[in-house]
Structure 1
Amino acid sequence: MTKKILVLYRLSHPLPAARVAIRQHIQALSQLEDRCEVIYANAVLGMPAWVRRVRFDGIVLHTTFLGMRWSPSFREWKEGLDWIGSLDCAKVALPQDEYDHSAVLDSWLAQWGVQTVFSCFGEEMWPILYPTLHGKARFVPCLTGYLLDGDAERIAAKCRPLSERPFDIVYRASKLPYWFGSHGQLKHEIAGIVREAAGRAGLRCDISTRPEDTIMGDRWFDFLASGRVVIGCESGSSVLDRDGGIMKAIEAMEAANPSLAFADVHKAMPEGWDDYRFFAISPRHLEVVLTKTAQVLVEGSYSGVLEADRHFIPLRRDFSNLQEVMERVKDTAALAEMAERAYEDILLGGKYTYRKFAEEILTAVPDRPLDREYRRAGSGLFLEKALSLRGMAVDGIVSARDRIMALKRIH
């Protein structure tokens, strides 16, 4: 039986205009169109009334939807949607940055009766992040992003051999706020430290943390494929901010002293505030694999996907082996072997695809008995699906004329 799924996301712009990685993550279930009928609804302005009239098998609360917990208007926005918690269907949550307002997230999911949570962190972190929901809901480990079937061939056509690429090392990152802790600072610190060392070693670099140098769309893959090596570290944070209190405290410090350094903030914060390890592999690490580019990464587990010295050159967290790493970067043949090995193990293995992710999500939605009422609900779902695919329901607003025109096309 085909399952009927509602995916709730939240974007300030139409879905087609979203970054590729975000759009692919939201539309993961499109990989299983033969097994499920999916409506994608943007809840940026609340939810359209028609949602209450459709009987769904499951509702998926997307990362972007759950990110509303960080907004100052969260409580008012959520109150207008609390009726979702009373809907009689399976509810699946796909949170990310779970360490940020973790108590708010835990309470919210418990209140709405979420039965399955896909977590980016290991089971040892679940009781810390979800003290209320842990033991009640089913937790499934997942990645922050996956590979899309078909991308490999399209991107491979753009990639030159490592020996023909214009740069030795490439990297883009943004400077994260202090409330992401020392790990958050590492993401931009590595840029300056490696750029300086690479210059001394005579290596060519395109490394930047400036906002104006951000690269979007398919140009991102062109950028990754312009270097023999991409540097980086795990995504995540070394801070657990349960209710936003740490963020507010640091914002107050910076307001009083705009030139405050991270070391000053660290001294002013309670002992142990920066001792957590909410680290995970980033989608960009998989994107680098697609371009057959080698990686130099700060040592870590990378969610068990990437293995040091097999899939990447490990850089110690204190940069004590940086000179040795720069020498390894000069060995193009060894880099090519490592990049090819990562491509074969991770991409060709087929384990980390959006199709596999979609299958896990669909497994979390049990089958319903096919009764008469359920069959009647199906025709309305097909209507909304047609509207959504045409882009008319992308923000949850559908005109009467559009509904009539869609019915004519369907019948």
Structure 2
Amino acid sequence: MRNRPTALVLYNWRGQWPMRRWEHQRIFAWKTYFPGRVVFLNIGFPFSPAWITQLDPELVLVDATALTARYTRVGLGGLRRAMEAAPARARRVAAPLDEFLGLQSLRDVLVETRIDLLLTALEPALWDSVYPTVQRPFALRRFLTSYIDDRLMRRASSDLDRRSIAVSYRAWEAPAWLGEMGALKREVGLRASDWARARGHRADVAVDGERRLAGEAWIRLLAASRAVVGVEGGSSLVDPTGVLPTGAPPPPGGEGWTPPDSVIALEPEAEIRAMSPRHLEAAATRTFQVLVEGGYSGVLEAGVHYQPVRRDLSDIEAALDLSRDPRHAQAMVDRAHAEIVASGRYSWRTVVREIADQVLA
């Protein structure tokens, strides 16, 4: 291996701009923290496979956006050309995020492209059921949906008492095919807005994809808010065969929509759930988190780093009231910042170096 190895990062981006902050970080953090040269290729546009062969990378990292190319014939063709052009000796790492959609096609792509290491946000208890051992010629490593970059880690944040917004939140109108998890993401914002209105507090909440915030705008909102509500990312449905929509409009929804027979409706204890990037961002800005109780990828601990509420949201008002308790709220956000952010355990610097050491050893 060369003294300064070369990494090729494949991504697929033809969508909204600017990118959401965490998505931009997930793709481009490798340039800052990888111990070598990093080159990026957007496979969403025409490219010459010969260029990849000439680059001769030691590591090929397939971002989640590149793996979504499997949903279309043209996109899958681009991903295949890129991976076929990479040298056989290159280590191949893939990091999907949508592990509940088109699951079998994802498995097929991972095998076909000869992935060596899969970075998965799934709970380890689900690994064998989602990626059966007989279909798994790759290693697995737990991977968060996002990490903390140096700039966010250094961000100064004022005391909670100085913040003008009582509670903030953003969500989109989740389609029926996300199941109960999707409905919960919207309901938690509506209940927070009702709480603020009843108490005479200021809220900045949008739950229908309105007032979208990208880049640093979301971080600025968090830093101006005493509290933020939320729930784990994930889905209550698993689609092994690819019948649910990906980029197309969602199916006719609402309470009357029934998933196709091939779609598996999960019980709460088996749902696919993971900590969202916004939970780390709230910890970094010392914003009091009122969250539906859950595992949060083993990072956030209920009652220690966030104020938990029951899944039926029956106690959300009492939890939000605690955000107005200066001693309780400030102690919780300071503890979350110290243990999660300042410790560096969940930083891009740490995880990129660990992955590079693992695959290039």
Superposed pair shares fold, TM > 0.5: yes
1:9 aligns with 2:11: yes
Aligned pairs (5 A) from 1:268-307: 273-275=265-267, 276-307=270-301
Counterpart of 2:184? Answer: 186
CA distance 1:323–1:211, change in 2 (3 Å): closer
Residue 8 of structure 1 aligns with an amino acid whose one-letter code is L
Asked whether the 8 Å contact 2:165–2:204 carries over to 1, the reply is yes
The CA deviation at 1:114 is 0.5
CA distance 1:253–1:232, change in 2 (3 Å): closer
The CA deviation at 1:268 is 7.8
CA distance 1:268–1:47, change in 2 (3 Å): closer
CA distance 1:94–1:330, change in 2 (3 Å): same
Q: Distance in 1 between matches of 2:249 and 2:343?
A: 45
RMSD of aligned residue pairs (Cα, Å): 2.6
CA distance 1:357–1:278, change in 2 (3 Å): same
Counterpart of 1:371? Answer: none
Q: Which has the higher contact order (CA 8 A, sep 6+)?
A: 1
Q: Distance in 1 between matches of 2:11 and 2:263?
A: 37
Counterpart of 1:47? Answer: 47
Q: Distance in 2 between matches of 1:347 and 1:147?
A: 7
| 1:78-112 CA-partner distances (Å, limit 9, x unpaired) | 45446247733211111112111111111001011
SS across alignment from 2:150: coil
Aligned pairs (5 A) from 1:206-245: 206-245=204-243
| 1:170-206 CA-partner distances (Å, limit 9, x unpaired) | 1111112211111022111111122223322333211
Residue 265 of structure 2 aligns with an amino acid whose one-letter code is W
| 1:136-195 CA-partner distances (Å, limit 9, x unpaired) | 211000100000113233x31xx3321121111111111122111110221111111222
**Same amino acid, percent of matched pairs:** 28
1:332 aligns with 2:334: no
Counterpart of 1:26? Answer: 27
Give 5+ residue unaligned stretches, structure 2: none
Residue 115 of structure 2 aligns with an amino acid whose one-letter code is V
Which is further off, 283-292 or 122-131?
122-131
Give 5+ residue unaligned stretches, structure 1: 255-259, 368-411
Q: Distance in 2 between matches of 1:55 and 1:268?
A: 44
Q: Distance in 2 between matches of 1:144 and 1:168?
A: 27
| 1:42-73 CA-partner distances (Å, limit 9, x unpaired) | 11124323112232211111111112223464
| TM-score of the superposed pair, with normalisation by structure 1 | 0.79
Aligned length: 355
Residue 2 of structure 1 aligns with an amino acid whose one-letter code is R
Asked whether the 8 Å contact 2:12–2:43 carries over to 1, the reply is yes
Counterpart of 1:264? Answer: 256
| TM-score of the superposed pair, with normalisation by structure 2 | 0.90
Asked whether the 8 Å contact 2:228–2:290 carries over to 1, the reply is yes
SS across alignment from 1:6: strand
